[in-house]
Each structure stands twice: as C-alpha cells, then as structure tokens.
C-alpha cells in the first residue's frame, strides 16, 4: 500500500484532464496497484496557487477555474506566489509539471523539475522542452535521489514510446526512425487534401484549440524538430538539440500540390526522420510525398506515427489515433503508476 | 551475473535463427544484462536430439542439420529419444519450445511446457497453440514455481504485444481490437492486387516458405482465429477458443474483386476483430474492405498490424513490417532477457 501526495504545476486542459482521470481510476488504482493519493498542491498560470496538506477539493478547484476565479480560497498558505516556493512547500511526493513549452531552452520547466527532484519528489512532465534540453541532467539527478524523471506524454501524447524502449525492446540497436509527430500540420494537410485552403485549414486548427494564435511553431516544423531531438536524445543516446535538426515547414505547399498528390495516390506529410551514421545521427523534418504502401499514408488528421528501424526488428511502428487532452493525461497516469508502483 | 543453461525443443528456421541471434548478441547480453548462457540441449523433429551438460557446439549442430545429418554424435546421452525425457534430462534453466503448431488442442506443446515448468524451468515459446489452449493453466503453474511462461513471438513475431500490456499500459481497459494478423493471406491479397491470380499467389507464398503445402490453415482464417483467441484470452482476460471466433477465409475473393476495390482506393484485407460487450466478447475473422483513412490500409505483403481500442487510448496501433525468422527469434530473445534479468 502506498499513499502519494501529488502536486500539479500547470493546470490547463491536460492537468485538468489528468485529475479527472485520477478520480475516475481511483478504485482501480487501489485495487490493482494498492495506490492512493492526495492532491496537496495546484499551481496555475492565471488562477493563482493552492496548497493544502490535507488535500485540495478537486471539484471546488475545477469549479473556481471554470468560473475564472482564483484558487487562493482553497489554500492554507495563500502567501505563496512563486512556482519554486510552491514546489518547496507543496508537500508532494510527485510533481506533475505541465507548464507551457519553451522550444528555446526548456525553461522555466527545467528549473521546476530540478527543484522537485532535489526535494526528493518524482518528477513527471508532458512538456518536451525540459526533456530535450535537460534529459541527461535530470535523469542523473533523479537516479542520485532514487526518484524517477518520466515524460511519456512529451511525444505522441499517451502512446507508450519511452516506456516501450525502457521495458520491451532489450538488446536492440535503434538505427533510426521516421514518423509524423506534429498533429497540427497533419490536420492542416488532411484538410487541404479535402479542399480547404492553407489559411482556412490553419484557422480551423486554431478554432478547435489545436494550433496557437501564432501557429508558426507547428507550421515551420519547430515542434516536430523538438520531438525528433527528444527521441534521438532519449532513445538513441545521442544528445542533440532542435537546432541540429534540418528543418523545412509546410508553408511552401499549396492546396493544389496536396490535392494533385492525392489524385496520384500519394500524400504530402511533414515527415520526421533520424538515421544513425557511425557515431552521428542525421535528422530532418520536411514535407515528403508518401505512397500507399507506407504505414505513414493512412495516418491522417490529428493522428501520429513513429516507425522504428532496429537491427533485430526491421520495422516496428506505433500509431496513435484520435488523441486529446485525455490521451495526454493517460501518459501522466501511466508515468505515475510506473514511478510509484513497486513490482 | 547470471548464467543460464538453455535447451531448445524444436530447431527449425526460428530455433536456428534464435541461436544465431544469441551468438551475435553474446557480448551485449554480458555487458548490459550480466547474462551468459550455455546451450545444453537441442531436440529436433527430423535430426534427433543432443544433450551435453558442458554445452553443445552450436556451429557443429547447425552444420549437421544443414547436411541432413543427425545430432546424435554431439550428445552425451544418445539413448534419450523422447521429448519429455529430453526435457527432464536436458539440465536447462530455460526451455524454448518451438515445435509445430496444433490448432486443435495445442498438443504436444502444452505437455512439453507443463513438464518444463514443473521441472523448475522458465518456459518460452513462439507457438500460439499452447497459449490459446492452456494460457491460464501454464501461467498459474509458472507462478507457483516462481518461473515465467512467456510467448511474445506467438502473435506478430517479435513485435512487443504481450510485454506492452504487461508493462506499459497500466490501468487501461481493453475494449477491443482489429488487425491483420495472418501474413500469408495478406501477402496473397497484395499479390492479387498487383495482378496475380489466387492460385498463383498461393503458389508464390508456398515457394518462399510462408504458406504450407496445405495452405488451408492460413487461407480459411484458422491461423488468424487462433491469434484472435490468443489476444482475447491473454489481453482481455476472457478465455475463448479458436472455434468461438466467427470465421470466413479469403477463398471467395476473386482477383477481380481485389483489383476493383484497389481502383476505388480500397483494399480487401482479412480483418481480425474483437469487441467487448458487457461480460462477453464478439470476435470475427473475415475479409473486409478497408479505406485509405484506416491504419490497416498501408499494411501490405507480410506485414501485420493490431489496432487496440482502450478506454484511455482510443486508438493505439502496433505495426510490424518485413518480418522473418530473425524477427520471431528476437521475440524469444526478449522473453529470455525479461524472464531471467532481475531489475
């Protein structure tokens, strides 16, 4: 039987979906994993923070946020306003870090996760920024403290990618991979194929909350390059940065290009690739024509795929369809169970 | 550091590929898993058996088999001729069972695996027969003896399916799956799509050693139904038998059907499905038309796919491309490491 105190730093769609999922799986966690929990801290970007060692009422917290109110009334330590101070005082065994991504340096998430690990917490994030920028440091720190630094949701939402290589593919040599790792551009290309203009498709992606007001991080391939660098760093053991990835976005593709390709049984996809060459790795993100015999062809809309090439398994692909905040939340839950469950 | 004595019961393409893979990964097993091994027994269908407590020379064994000779000269116990007697006397810590599949009752493989577990060995098989017919009994027996009964290669060769659910998908409820699980029929349909006749495609599959002399087990969907029943039994926790799976093979499909469908951007596939309905599960194997938006569409030739539907992950697919005996052998290696490696 383990009882875990948990705190959430960042409480947007994913954080909220995660606490709802925790509640829904509460009985199962007890029954199958002898795992119970108390949420002792929630820190948000716009709604303030709350700490309560006896447990925050999640229903009330969700209610306050939905009405645009602050969490302060739920806190036993309302004077705490700073995220680092929050981490030191939240009394958690596990910190879930889900603040907005910084492509450039992974900050301030790296500092948050470092602080949590130094304070003896497991550190779990859905944020790829700190993984690509500080994987080795944070993993080493976690090990030194006997804790886990897990980040299953950083690439392909809740699909098990990192845990797959951690547990299921012993004695393999990962030679390279290719895939579709950015949902926004994949949805845009799918809509263009069905007759939408580039501008119209971008506006649609924004309207459903997938693309940001400034969609360039997706469209210019930056998000995809961070994911490529993350996979190469973690799974191939070669620490590279997003800037090392050769990168072309989808701006130069016209609706006509996309429609024409489809008529010829091909599809334009923003393809991510990495290939080991001796001690180095050659990586790229760029639009490529994909034929009907590729497992990438049928991956449309917001779905994603990564196709791994290993010495012992020539082609192993993982495909995730219809993701949403709940899918990302599941990755956090899987990390939580894997980090805390003994055996 | 752990040293394992291993024995192979069944030494065809897969068994031979496995010992070659073991040799190739020898240094890595020592370095990464502190795992060394001695092969103390090999039992074949046509080339007799050999037992040697100090280790069988694998180069010599492969040589004898390639020249059509018997293994007897390599044995220190040449009087042993019976597989059960072989298991009792092979001195192994791990038995690899790779005898031909029996769809009807999984025998004699079930007896072999039972004997190995009772004798205190880990039991590893690429054979789906004993899994579908005796999963619960053998798993219970393994647990009682503190051993493992693993069978990663029984479905989709070396692709991690069973270990995925064992380790990576905690707290999920598997609602159902669909997939392409029989390579032979998938290759036949792909060849028919490219202009071959049904008979020609079957002959081709036989010529490359994929289909058997009597190809009905594949063509009539029996092999696929065994795999469906295996996945349902192990992953959904509902023990069903192959006969419980509604089953239609591909005999009634004409080359014209297949070509016509492809012209309309569809493909005929032998689709396996399972869906939980209250306490029951509805299963089928039958030809279905698949459109270009399905992840099944791009899975051609000998490739295979399974698309899982879970409460928390709406669509997670695993695709394996270009499999061969080496891929199946890798599943055995992964089971070997997972069964014997502590931590």
pLDDT score, position B163: 94
Q: A29 touching B, CB under 8 A?
A: yes
Average pLDDT, chain A: 96
Alpha helices in chain B (DSSP H): 13-24, 26-33, 58-66, 83-89, 109-118, 128-144, 162-167, 183-193, 198-207, 216-219, 222-235, 255-263, 325-340
Average pLDDT over residues A266-286: 96
State which residue of chain A sits closest to B28, comparing Cα positions.
Answer: A171
Residue B4 near residue B41 (C-beta atoms within 8 A)? no
| B292: chain A residues, CB-CB within 8 Å | 292, 297-298
**Mean pLDDT of the A192-196 span:** 95
Cβ distance B33 to A170 less than 8 Å, yes or no, reads: yes
CB contact under 8 A, B171 and A299: no
Tell me the nearest-neighbour CA distance from A98 into chain B, angstroms: 19
The answer to ipTM > 0.90 is yes
Characterise B106 by phi-psi region: left (phi > 0), alpha (psi -120 to 50), beta (else).
Answer: left
So what's the pLDDT on residue A212? Answer: 87
Query: What pLDDT, in 10s, does the model give residues A302-317?
Result: 999 999 999 999 999 9
Instruction: Measure B138 CA to nearest chain A CA, in Å.
Output: 21
Backbone phi and psi for residue A88, each to the nearest 5 degrees, phi listed first: -65, -30
Tens digits of pLDDT across chain B (343 residues): 899 999 999 999 999 999 999 999 999 999 999 999 999 999 999 999 999 999 999 999 999 999 999 999 999 999 999 999 999 999 999 999 999 988 899 999 999 999 999 999 999 999 999 999 999 999 999 999 999 999 999 999 999 999 999 989 999 999 999 999 999 999 999 999 999 999 999 999 999 989 988 999 999 999 999 999 999 999 999 999 999 999 999 999 999 999 999 999 899 999 999 999 988 999 999 999 999 888 999 999 999 999 999 999 999 999 999 898 899 999 999 999 999 986 5
Nearest-by-CA chain B residue for A313: B327
Which single residue is written with the structure tokens 């991080």? Answer: A217
Q: What is the pLDDT of residue B293?
A: 84
Provide φ and ψ at A189, rounded to 5°: -65, -40
Whether A120 contacts chain B with CB within 8 A: no
- Cβ–Cβ below 8 Å for A315 and B303: yes
pLDDT tens digit sequence for A320-333: 998 988 999 999 99
Residue with tokens 């009807």: B104
Q: Is A322 at the interface with chain B, CB within 8 A?
A: yes
Tokens of A253: 């593709």
- Give the tens place of pLDDT for each residue, A112-145: 999 999 999 999 999 999 999 999 999 999 999 9
| Token pair recorded at residue B198 | 């049904």
* B167 contact residues in A (CB cutoff 8 A): 163, 167-168
Sort out which chain A residues have CB atoms less than 8 A from B316's CB and list them: 159-160, 318-321
Select from B105, B89, B132, B107 the least CA-distant residue to B97: B107
pLDDT at A343 over 70: no
Q: With bands split at pLDDT 50, 70 and 90, how would you rate the model's confidence at A292?
A: confident
Is 80 exceeded by the pLDDT of residue A15? Answer: yes
Task: Give the pLDDT confidence score for residue A342 in this predicted structure.
Answer: 63
Give A133's contacts (C-beta < 8 A, 6+ positions apart).
A105, A106, A107, A110, A241
Q: Which residues of B are catalytic?
A: 227
Q: How many angstroms away from the CA of B300 is the closest CA of chain A?
A: 7
Counted across chains A and B, CB pairs separated by less than 8 A come out at 151
The conformation of residue A73, written as its DSSP 8-state character, comes to G
| Cα–Cα dist A337/A274, whole Å | 31
Mutate to test the interface with B, among A157, A186, A306, A317 (most CBs of B within 10 A): A317
Given a contact cutoff of 8 angstroms between Cβ atoms, the answer to whether A44 and A61 are in contact is no
- Best probe of the A interface among B173, B187, B312, by most A CBs < 10 A, is B312
Is B313 close to A158, i.e. CB distance below 8 A? yes
Cis peptide before A108 (omega within 30 of 0): yes
- To the nearest whole percent, how much of chain A has pLDDT over 70? 99
Cβ distance A319 to B295 less than 8 Å, yes or no, reads: yes
Q: Which of residues 297-316 of A touch B (CB under 8 A)?
A: 297-300, 303, 307, 312-316
Using a CB–CB cutoff of 8 Å, tell me whether A317 touches chain B: yes
User: Which of A264, A298, A310, A311 to probe the B interface (max B CBs under 10 A)?
Assistant: A298
Q: How far is CA A281 from the centre of its chain?
A: 23
Q: List the A315-321 sheet strands across, edge first.
A: A246-247, A280-291, A266-277, A174-180, A304-310, A315-321, B315-321, B304-310, B174-180, B266-277, B280-291, B246-247
DSSP designation for B217: H
Contacts of B144 (CB under 8 A, 6+ apart): none
Burial state string for B206-220 with b = 16 or more CB within 10 A and e = fewer than 16: eeeebbeeebebbbb
A17 in B contact zone (CB under 8 Å) = no
């Amino acid at each position: 039987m383990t009882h875990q105190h948990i705190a959430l730093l960042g409480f947007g769609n994913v954080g909220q979906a995660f606490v709802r999922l925790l509640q829904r799986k509460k009985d199962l966690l007890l029954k199958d994993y002898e795992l119970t929990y108390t949420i002792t801290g929630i820190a948000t970007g716009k709604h303030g923070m709350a700490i309560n060692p006896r447990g925050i009422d999640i229903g009330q917290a969700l209610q306050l946020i939905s009405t645009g109110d602050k969490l302060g009334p739920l806190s036993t330590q309302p004077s705490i306003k700073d995220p680092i101070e929050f981490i030191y005082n939240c009394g958690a065994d596990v910190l879930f870090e889900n603040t907005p991504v910084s492509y450039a340096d992974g900050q301030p998430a790296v500092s948050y996760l470092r602080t949590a690990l130094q304070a003896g917490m497991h550190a779990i994030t859905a944020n790829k920024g700190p993984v690509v920028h500080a994987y080795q440091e944070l993993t080493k720190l976690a090990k030194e403290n006997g804790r886990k630094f897990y980040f299953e949701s950083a690439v392909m939402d809740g699909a098990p990618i990192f845990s797959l290589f951690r547990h299921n593919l012993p004695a393999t040599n990962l030679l390279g991979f290719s895939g579709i790792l950015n949902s926004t551009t994949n949805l845009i290309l799918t809509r263009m194929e069905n007759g939408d203009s580039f501008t119209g498709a971008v506006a649609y992606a924004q309207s459903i909350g997938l693309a940001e007001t400034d969609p360039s991080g997706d469209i210019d391939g930056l998000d995809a390059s961070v994911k490529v660098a993350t996979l190469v760093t973690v799974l191939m053991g070669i620490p590279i940065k997003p800037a090392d990835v050769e990168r072309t976005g989808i701006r130069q593709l016209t609706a006509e290009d996309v429609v024409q390709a489809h008529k010829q049984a091909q599809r334009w996809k923003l393809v991510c690739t990495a290939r080991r060459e001796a001690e180095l790795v050659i990586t790229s993100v760029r639009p490529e024509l994909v034929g009907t015999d590729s497992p990438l062809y049928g991956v449309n809309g917001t779905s994603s795929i990564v196709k791994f090439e290993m010495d012992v398994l020539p082609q192993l692909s993982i495909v995730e369809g219809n993701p949403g905040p709940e899918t990302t939340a599941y990755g956090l839950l899987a990390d939580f169970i894997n980090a805390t469950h003994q055996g």
